[in-house]
């Protein structure tokens, strides 16, 4: 290939532009420009964006994924909206435009029609807004829980026909009254409209516990709703309808109460024998009812029902609403974090289980390995490997005879203590056990991000939800 021409491949191009930049004084300009770059550059990195170059106050960034590019744009506008709401100085208003197509790459720069289109699209975004092309829309419309509205066709320079464009509807600007303890506010269906797209496993309460354990081992959720063999209950104090569920944590509790010689018998026990109770709410109920269900049962999972459809919803799903600023809080990481519990990698696996149950935690951090932790899922993965299941049948008392060092570990991302909870929501990750650790050593889980601010009356609907 002629290197003077460059390599051609599909790319997603984002342009950002500060509104009113040329009208500011020189001193103000430099200060805001540096602050603006300090907010945008980490967001690009978090979503896999490659900063190609800056052009004055503008960024030109390339992504491999249209979904990641739009997620990045939403995060940027969310962070800037939060920054502007908390500052009495000049606000930072940014326009963002995104287009996808064939891009020419040469000497780490990008050229071509796609780049030119993105540079023109950005000018059509409203201050603090996001404008995307039809090509980007086709990639993201069914992948993101954000509202996208069609704009009037636009006449763009050197484009022969009107261009079809879309805007991402602002979900980061408004903030409603804090969610209370009773009714009112937005519904579950408005905050989590795509919840029934989730295909999540269930458990048959009449099947042996070994079956549920194998499913838990591979599931992205930590609770399996029981569909057979167990009925519904009603909590006498709150009136909440309760649904049976099987979780790794409840299995570990049962394990510790079982004599070693009976371990194999435990695996043959019907799953319903160790069922716990999770809340059950309707799709059209206020989102507050879902929070109450989590609070009553102390599990970050609940059943959501709509006619003949049922699915389990977790705190991880609500973290997505925080990322899109459908739920917002002005609280900071340092206000909600919890103290970590640590363990030596030389400790026995059974000791790890004992510590989790004693301290009522799902994660233990490894001494001498900053940010590394094992979880209740790590223990389930270990106990339900084929090798361990064969061992427990022959020599039950050796089922968990091993050191913590053999367990799978994860590493928590480090978050600044002063980071907002909405910012932390972007960082926490997608895996069931993901969490954050502050620079001061506090652990931040999804429960901390959502339940603590709600309990304190400091979680509010945001964006379009603020008007409901």
CATH 3.10.580.10 fits 333-462, yes or no: yes
Instruction: Give residues with Cβ within 8 angstroms of 367, minimum separation 6.
Output: 342, 343, 344, 345
CA dihedral 416, 420, 422, 423 (to 10 degrees): -30
Q: For residue 257, with 0-12 CB atoms within 10 Å meaning exposed, 13-18 middle and 19 or more buried, which class applies?
A: exposed
Mean pLDDT estimate for the chain:
90
Residue 53 pairs with which residues in a beta bridge?
60
Nearest to 79 by CA among 33, 124, 122, 43: 43
Sequence-distant (≥ 6) Cβ neighbours of residue 285 within 8 angstroms = 187, 188
Both tokens of residue 252? 């570990």
Listed residue (454, 148, 169, 182) closest to 328, CA to CA = 454
- The Cα–Cα gap between 16 and 62 comes to 12
- Torsional sign, CA 172, 75, 157, 60: positive
- pLDDT tens, position by position, 124-147: 999 999 999 999 999 999 888 788
Please tell me the predicted confidence (pLDDT) of residue 341: 95
Helix (H) or strand (E) holding 36: helix 26-46
Position 392 scores a pLDDT of 95
Alpha carbon distance 326, 191 (integer Å):
7
Domain 7-168 has CATH 3.30.930.10: no
Q: Is the pTM of this model over 0.85?
A: no
2-6, 345-349, 392-396, range with the lowest pLDDT:
2-6
Tell me the three state secondary structure of residue 380: helix
SS3 call for 327? strand
What is the pLDDT confidence band of residue 1, given thresholds at 50, 70 and 90?
very low
Per-residue confidence band for 395, with pLDDT thresholds at 50, 70 and 90: very high
Check pLDDT > 70 for residue 2: no
Identify the pLDDT of residue 3: 44
What digits encode the pLDDT tens for the residues 15-26? 999 987 665 556
- Distance, in Å, from the CA atom of 334 to the CA atom of 323, rounded to the nearest integer, reads 19
Residue 410, beta-bridge partner list = 373
What are the tens digits of pLDDT across the range 247-297?
A: 888 899 999 999 999 999 999 999 999 899 999 999 999 999 999 999 999
Pick from 380, 142, 356, 398: nearest CA to 251: 380
DSSP letters for 48-99: T-EEEEEETTEEEEEES-HHHHHHHHHHHHHHHHHHHHH-SS----EEEEEE
pLDDT at 461 over 50: yes
Domain ranges of the chain: 7-168, 188-327, 333-462
Q: Which residue has the tokens 């599909």?
A: 10
Q: Looking at residues 331-355, what average pLDDT do you find?
A: 95
- Residue 356 has what pLDDT? 95
Tokens at residue 172, please?
A: 């980061």
Asked whether the domain spanning 333-462 has the same topology as the one spanning 188-327, the reply is yes
Cα dihedral 410/416/421/426 (nearest 10): -50
Each residue of 150-169: pLDDT tens digit? 998 888 887 878 889 999 98
Tell me: pLDDT of 177 over 90. Answer: no
Collapsing DSSP to helix, strand or coil, 277 comes out as: strand
Residue 330's pLDDT is: 85
Over residues 334-344, the pLDDT tens digits come to: 999 999 999 99
Predicted confidence (pLDDT) at residue 175 exceeds the cutoff of 50: yes
Nearest to 459 by CA among 284, 237, 222, 294: 294
Q: How far is CA 352 from CA 15, 209, 407, 410, 429, in A?
A: 49, 22, 10, 15, 24
The architecture CATH gives domain 188-327: Roll (3.10)
Helix (H) or strand (E) segment spanning residue 328:
strand 327-328
What is the arithmetic mean of pLDDT over 66-89? 87
- What percent of the chain has a predicted confidence (pLDDT) above 70? 96
Q: Answer yes or no: is pLDDT of 51 > 90.
A: yes
| Mean pLDDT, residues 102-121 taken together | 93
Work out whether the CA dihedral 34, 36, 37, 41 comes out positive or negative: positive
Residue 242 binned pLDDT confidence (cut-offs 50, 70, 90): very high
The winner for highest mean pLDDT among 2-16, 157-171, 219-233, 359-373 is: 359-373
């Amino acid at each position: 290939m002629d290197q003077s021409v460059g390599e051609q491949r599909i790319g997603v191009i984002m342009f950002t532009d500060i509104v009113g930049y040329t009208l500011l004084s020189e001193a103000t300009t430099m200060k805001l420009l540096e602050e603006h770059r300090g907010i945008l550059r980490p967001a690009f990195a978090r979503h896999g964006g490659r900063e190609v170059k800056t052009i004055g106050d503008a960024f030109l960034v390339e992504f491999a994924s249209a979904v990641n590019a739009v997620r990045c744009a939403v995060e940027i506008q969310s962070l800037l909206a939060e920054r502007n709401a908390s500052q009495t100085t000049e606000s930072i208003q940014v326009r963002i435009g995104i287009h996808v197509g064939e891009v020419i790459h040469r000497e780490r720069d990008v050229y071509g029609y796609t780049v030119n289109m993105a540079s023109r699209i950005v000018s059509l975004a409203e201050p603090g807004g996001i404008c995307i092309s039809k090509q980007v829309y086709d990639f993201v419309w069914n992948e993101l829980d954000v509202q996208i509205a069609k704009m009037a066709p636009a006449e763009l320079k050197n484009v022969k026909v009107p261009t079809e464009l879309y805007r991402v509807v602002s979900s980061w600007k408004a903030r409603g009254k804090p969610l209370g303890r009773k009714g009112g506010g937005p519904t579950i269906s408005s905050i989590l409209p795509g919840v029934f797209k989730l295909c999540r496993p269930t458990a048959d309460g009449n099947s042996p516990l070994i079956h549920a354990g194998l499913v838990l081992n591979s599931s992205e959720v930590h609770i399996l709703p029981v569909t057979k063999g167990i009925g519904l209950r009603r909590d006498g104090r709150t009136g909440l309808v309760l649904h049976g569920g099987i979780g790794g944590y409840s299995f570990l509790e049962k394990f510790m109460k079982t004599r070693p010689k009976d371990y194999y018998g435990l695996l043959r026990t019907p799953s319903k024998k160790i069922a716990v109770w999770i809340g059950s709410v309707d799709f059209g109920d206020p989102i507050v009812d879902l929070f109450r269900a989590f609070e009553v049962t102390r599990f970050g999972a609940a059943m959501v029902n709509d006619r003949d459809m049922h699915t389990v919803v977790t705190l991880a799903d609500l973290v997505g609403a925080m990322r899109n600023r459908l739920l917002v809080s002005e609280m900071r990481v340092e206000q909600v974090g919890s103290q970590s519990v640590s363990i030596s990698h030389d400790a026995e696996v059974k000791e790890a289980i004992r510590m989790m149950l004693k301290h009522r935690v799902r994660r233990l951090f490894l001494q001498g390995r900053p940010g590394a932790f094992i979880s209740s899922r790590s223990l389930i993965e270990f106990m339900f490997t084929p090798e361990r299941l064969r061992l427990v049948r022959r020599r039950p008392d050796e089922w968990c005879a091993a050191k913590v060092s053999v367990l799978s570990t994860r590493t928590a991302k480090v978050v600044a203590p002063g980071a907002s909870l909405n910012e932390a929501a972007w960082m926490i990750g997608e895996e069931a056990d993901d969490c954050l650790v502050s620079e001061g050593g506090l652990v931040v889980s999804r429960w901390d991000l959502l339940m603590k601010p709600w309990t304190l009356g400091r979680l509010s609907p945001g964006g379009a939800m603020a008007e409901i």
